């Protein structure tokens, strides 16, 4: 049988093919340069996560927290979390601590779709404004650091952005008007910063948003009416701000909204009956405001609250009897109001402690051990 020898042409094709594979899977030199500059502005002394970021290794294959497009070799993801179940954290037996700042060189990673640099506790400085030029960004998560400055004014340029998490930093300034043009945004978390000003009137333009967590800031003004048109909003937290005015009736008619935290603001007026009669809420916290009037007698067999907190307001009158007909109320706190009369019998009152009713004007019965 004649043995066929490879032709010079086929050998050349094989060399070219192997070379192409090598080229495709190697980290882009410009991206590796940008990552080195990014690393040079950060210091992580305990876990050694940057030890893998070596000049002699491919950033797409061996660098901790880096992912690339397998076809182009461009860096697509930086995923560095200071709290993780990754082996490097398990071995060290501790969470991470990183200092430094975000180098503007990160903006040279033009294929970047995810920037996660969260829970390191010590990263400071401002978010580079040029980050808004990264058109492919879908995730920005910088939570749990000491970042200062304002949300980039042109954040609205990131038309693919789905997650923006800047919680637990030291940021200031107002919510930029361009933020409400982020049509793909699903998760917005700005909790525990120093962000001030009013919530943009067109906040409801964020039609895809399911979580809006803006608590523990310095926000002022009233709750924008445009929020009523947010059909996907399931979790709204405006707690510990300076929000004023009444609670809108339409808030109880939002079909998907199940968690509403409005506590520790300056809200006034009565509690809308629609909020308490809604079968969609699981958590409702209206405590520490200046709400007045009676508690609406609108509870029914579809009412289901894992937690209902109306404490520290100016509510008066009796506890509504219909609350006994609720399907479930796990935690109830109506303390520190001006309520009067007997505490109804049965569930949920039979499993609550006296602290849930304390410091009212003339409540009696039930766990208060006070005869009516």
- 305 forms beta bridges with 329
Residue by residue, DSSP assigns 40-75 as HTEE-TTT-GGGG--TTS-TTTTSTTEEE-TTT--E
Residue 90: pLDDT band by 50, 70, 90 thresholds? Answer: low
pTM of the model: 0.91
> Residue 24 — pLDDT band, cuts 50, 70, 90?
very low
Cβ neighbors of 5 (< 8 A, separation 6 or more) are: none
pLDDT band at 369 (very low <50, low <70, confident <90, very high): confident
Q: What is the pLDDT of residues 171-205, one digit of tens each?
A: 999 999 999 999 999 999 999 999 999 999 999 99
Question: What is the structure's pLDDT at 89?
Answer: 66
For the cut 50, the answer to whether the pLDDT of residue 2 exceeds it is: no
Q: If 0-12 CB within 10 Å is exposed, 13-18 middle and 19+ buried, where does residue 341 land? A: middle
The pair of three-digit structure tokens given for residue 137, joined into one six-digit string: 């960004």
Name which residue leads in pLDDT, 254 or 25.
254
pLDDT in tens, 282-321: 999 999 999 999 999 999 999 999 999 999 999 999 999 9
Q: Which two tokens stand for residue 106?
A: 């990160």
Place of tokens 């398990």: 90
Domain boundaries, the chain: 244-371
Neighbours of 360 (CB within 10 A): 21
CATH topology of domain 244-371: 3.80.10
d(CA 219, CA 242): 6
Rg (CA), the chain: 27
What pLDDT, on the 0 to 100 scale, is given for residue 19?
A: 41
Give the tens place of pLDDT for each residue, 26-46: 899 999 999 999 999 999 988
Q: Tokens 């509690």 identify what position?
A: 271
> Average pLDDT over the chain, rounded to whole?
91
Contact 262, 239 (CB under 8 A): yes
Write out pLDDT tens, residues 321-336.
999 999 999 999 999 9
Percentage of the chain modeled with pLDDT above 70: 91
Question: Sorting pLDDT into bands at 50, 70 and 90, what band is 25?
Answer: low
Q: Is 14 exposed, middle or buried (0-12, 13-18, 19+ CB in 10 A)?
A: exposed
pLDDT tens digit string along 201-233? 999 999 999 999 999 999 999 999 999 999 999
Statement: residue 13 has pLDDT above 80? no
Is the pLDDT reported for residue 94 higher than 90? no
């Amino acid at each position: 049988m004649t043995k066929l020898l490879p032709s010079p042409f086929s050998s050349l094709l094989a060399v070219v093919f192997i070379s192409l594979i090598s080229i495709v899977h190697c980290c882009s030199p410009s991206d590796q340069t940008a990552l080195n500059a990014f690393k040079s502005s950060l210091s992580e002394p305990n876990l050694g996560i940057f030890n893998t970021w070596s000049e002699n290794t491919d950033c797409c294959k061996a660098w901790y927290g880096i992912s690339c497009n397998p076809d182009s070799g461009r860096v697509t993801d930086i995923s560095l979390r200071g709290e993780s179940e990754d082996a490097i954290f398990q071995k060290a037996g501790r969470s991470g601590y990183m200092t430094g700042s975000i180098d503007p060189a990160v903006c040279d990673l033009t294929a970047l779709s995810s920037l996660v640099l969260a829970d390191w506790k010590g990263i400071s400085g401002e978010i580079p404004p040029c980050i808004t030029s990264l058109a492919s960004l879908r995730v920005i998560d910088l939570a749990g650091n000491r970042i200062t400055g304002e949300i980039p004014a042109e954040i609205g340029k990131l038309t693919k952005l789905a997650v923006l998490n800047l919680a637990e930093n030291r940021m200031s300034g107002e919510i930029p008007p361009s933020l409400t043009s982020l049509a793909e945004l699903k998760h917005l978390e700005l909790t525990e910063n120093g962000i001030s000003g009013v919530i943009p009137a067109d906040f409801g333009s964020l039609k895809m948003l399911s979580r809006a967590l803006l608590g523990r800031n310095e926000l002022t003004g009233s709750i924008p009416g445009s929020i009523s048109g947010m059909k996907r909003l399931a979790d709204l937290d405006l707690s510990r701000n300076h929000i004023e005015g009444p609670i809108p009736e339409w808030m109880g008619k939002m079909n998907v909204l199940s968690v509403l935290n409005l506590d520790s603001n300056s809200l006034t007026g009565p509690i809308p009956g629609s909020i308490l009669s809604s079968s969609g809420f699981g958590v409702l916290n209206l405590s520490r405001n200046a709400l007045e009037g009676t508690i609406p007698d609108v509870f029914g067999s579809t009412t289901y609250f894992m937690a209902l907190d109306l404490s520290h307001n100016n509510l008066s009158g009796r506890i509504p009897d219909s609350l006994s007909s609720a399907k479930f109320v796990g935690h109830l706190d109506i303390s520190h109001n001006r309520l009067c009369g007997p505490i109804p019998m049965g569930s949920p009152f039979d499993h609550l402690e006296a602290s849930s009713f304390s410091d009212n004007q003339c409540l009696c019965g039930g766990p208060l051990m006070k005869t009516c």
